[in-house]
Amino acid sequence: MVMLVVSLFQWWYGDGLRERVKFASVRLESLIDYFSFSLLLKTLFSPYRQISAGKVDGALEVQLRAFADKLFSRVIGAVIRLMIMIVGFVVLIISVMYTLLNIILWLALPALPLIGVWLMLIGWNLSWTM
């Protein structure tokens, strides 16, 4: 019986913890890849879904109009990419906090019954009587 408990703790704090951390790492890496922050930064001021962004020949009015169109497309692209990056960072921060809480709970879970027995022995209870 003692050997079984020792084996459980060896797995829990050994292979089990390594698997938990590896799973969390893969999940965070896939989240970073999903939002592709590096690509969003590289293309921050690229035109947003503008098919023809080449050189425009013609009168000054036509060239100014093309310049304004390209500038507007770049501003829209930057705003949308910044919003995606902000949402991505918020999701990433929440996911990191969840992952840390998950690992802390994994580490503390085997000790919770012992803490419960100890609290019972000292006479502590959850009642909020006045």
Q: Has residue 125 got a pLDDT over 80?
A: no
Closest CA to 96 of 32, 7, 18: 32
pLDDT at position 49 is 75
Mean pLDDT across 16-41? 94
Each residue's pLDDT tens digit, 47-81: 877 666 667 777 888 888 888 888 888 888 899 99
Each residue's pLDDT tens digit, 1-14: 889 888 988 999 99
The structural domains of the chain, with segments of one domain joined by +, span 2-108
Which DSSP string do the residues of 37-105 spell out, in sequence order? HHHHHHTTTS-SS-S--S---S-HHHHHHHHHHHHHHHHHHHHHHHHHHHHHHHHHHHHHHHHHHHHHH
Each residue's pLDDT tens digit, 32-52: 999 999 999 998 888 877 666
pTM of the prediction? 0.74
pLDDT at position 95 is 96
Mean pLDDT across 78-86? 93
Each residue's pLDDT tens digit, 91-114: 999 999 999 999 999 999 988 888
